[in-house]
Copies of this chain bind each other. A is one copy, B any other.
Amino acid sequence: MAQMHPFGISVNDIRQASERLTEKVIRTPVIPCDALSKTLDLDLHFKAENLQHEGSFKIRGATNAVLALANRVGKNQLAQRGVITHSSGNHAAALARAASLLGVGARIVMPHNSSPRKLTAVQRYGIQPILCEPSSEARQLKAEEIIAETRAQMIHAYDDPDIIAGQGTVGLEIIEQIKNIDVILAPVGGGGLLAGILVAVKSIAPNTQVFGCEPTFADDAYRSLLAGAIEKPTRYDSVADGLRTCLGEITFPIIKHFVDGILLVDESEILEATRTIATQGRLVAEPSGAVTLAAATRYHQQFKGKRVVAVISGGNLDMGGCSLGRA
């Protein structure tokens, strides 16, 4: 019997995920940004997960989870039951795509006030989202109802070892793509991405510091580390809508053990960073993906002269009202 890793996931799980994901996800580029490096007096690079399929890192975890599950329960069995999740964000389209790759049916529960862009992304895979009330409880309840009925296999957005292993491939790739990294900055919402990166990076390049970045308006990870227990967000209105969730039972201990710190940024800093990534980095980031540049900017003196990789986790920005190209 395989030995269980104390955190439920090891760097080998991430290496396995990486093999599974070959040709199925994009090995997104790490791109230097000269202009911002000069301004901030550090050596800044972006890991451009906004260029991932469906515009976010979520495809990595979702695809790994569906593939791993198909291995465990058998593809036919999985196809009979299908998979299910609830999400208002990028995990929804990611699971839709992952299931579609394997020819497995997917049920996606989404709050009725989800952004039209996120709903459309799911519909493109021929899946009609199942709408519910916007609360966490309503989402969970609706999903449980359907599971009772269909035996569909739940694939949680972040608190799942296969999801974390998939997201961890972001960290694995960064280490392979660029040498002598001093600091990696990653957004933290539910903590799947941060936990995965931590397991990969702290195993392979333990001298590289890894910080989680989150909005002051969603500082639950920061407070959870202070308290030593998972704290809930106190408000749900940050512009970084992907980071409004709290840490999970699996992600929290990993982050608590490995992370070098949580950096908080304000709403105006996030918006400014979203804009700066577009003008100076020529990349479209959503606010949740721009918190890392916001942190690099706010705390640039702490990182002076260092090689910093900021993970741009997603690029599904609602561009309503933007006069792009009409300058």
Binds B, one of A187-195, A197-205, A272-280: A272-280
Could you tell me which residues of chain A, from 61 to 89, have a CB within 8 Å of some CB in chain B? none
Is there a chain B Cβ closer than 8 Å to A135's Cβ?
A: no
Q: How large is the interface on A (under 10, 10 to 19, 20 to 34, 35 or more residues)?
A: 35 or more
Is there a chain B Cβ closer than 8 Å to A5's Cβ?
A: no
Contact of A320 among B239, B282, B323 (CB under 8 A): B323
Say yes or no: A26-B32 contact (C-beta < 8 A), given A51-B283, A271-B325: yes
Residues of chain B contacted by A315 (CB below 8 angstroms)? 282
Across the interface, name the chain B residue whose C-beta is closest to A270: B325
B323 and A327: CB pair below 8 A? no
Say yes or no: A29-B51 contact (C-beta < 8 A), given A315-B282, A324-B275, A324-B319: yes
Is there a chain B Cβ closer than 8 Å to A215's Cβ?
A: no
Point out residues on A near B: beta carbons under 8 Å: 26, 28-29, 31-32, 34-35, 38, 50-51, 53-55, 124, 239, 270-271, 274-275, 278-279, 281-287, 290, 315-327
Say yes or no: A323-B321 contact (C-beta < 8 A), given A31-B51, A282-B283, A284-B283: yes
B239 and A325: CB pair below 8 A? yes
- How far does the Cβ of A282 sit from chain B's closest Cβ, in whole Å? 3
15 A-B pairs whose Cβ atoms sit less than 8 Å apart in the complex: A26-B32, A28-B29, A29-B51, A35-B124, A38-B124, A51-B283, A55-B282, A275-B324, A278-B319, A278-B322, A279-B284, A279-B319, A282-B316, A317-B324, A320-B323
Task: Report how far A53 CA is from B38 CA in the complex, Å.
Answer: 13
Task: Report how far A282 CA is from B320 CA in the complex, Å.
Answer: 15
B55 and A325: CB pair below 8 A? no
**Number of chain copies forming the complex:** 2
Residues of chain B contacted by A26 (CB below 8 angstroms)? 31-32
- How far does the Cβ of A78 sit from chain B's closest Cβ, in whole Å? 23
B323 and A322: CB pair below 8 A? yes
Q: Assuming A34-B53, A278-B284, what are 16 further A-B pairs, CB within 8 angstroms?
A: A26-B31, A28-B29, A29-B29, A31-B51, A32-B53, A51-B283, A278-B317, A278-B319, A279-B317, A282-B285, A283-B283, A283-B284, A284-B324, A321-B327, A322-B322, A322-B324
Identify the 7 closest CB pairs spanning chains A and B, nearest first. A282-B315, A274-B325, A318-B327, A29-B29, A282-B284, A322-B322, A321-B323
Across the interface, name the chain B residue whose C-beta is closest to A34: B53
Task: Report how far A303 CA is from B281 CA in the complex, Å.
Answer: 31
Contact of A274 among B279, B286, B321, B324 (CB under 8 A): B324
Across the interface, name the chain B residue whose C-beta is closest to A35: B124
- How far does the Cβ of A4 sit from chain B's closest Cβ, in whole Å? 37
- How far does the Cβ of A242 sit from chain B's closest Cβ, in whole Å? 13
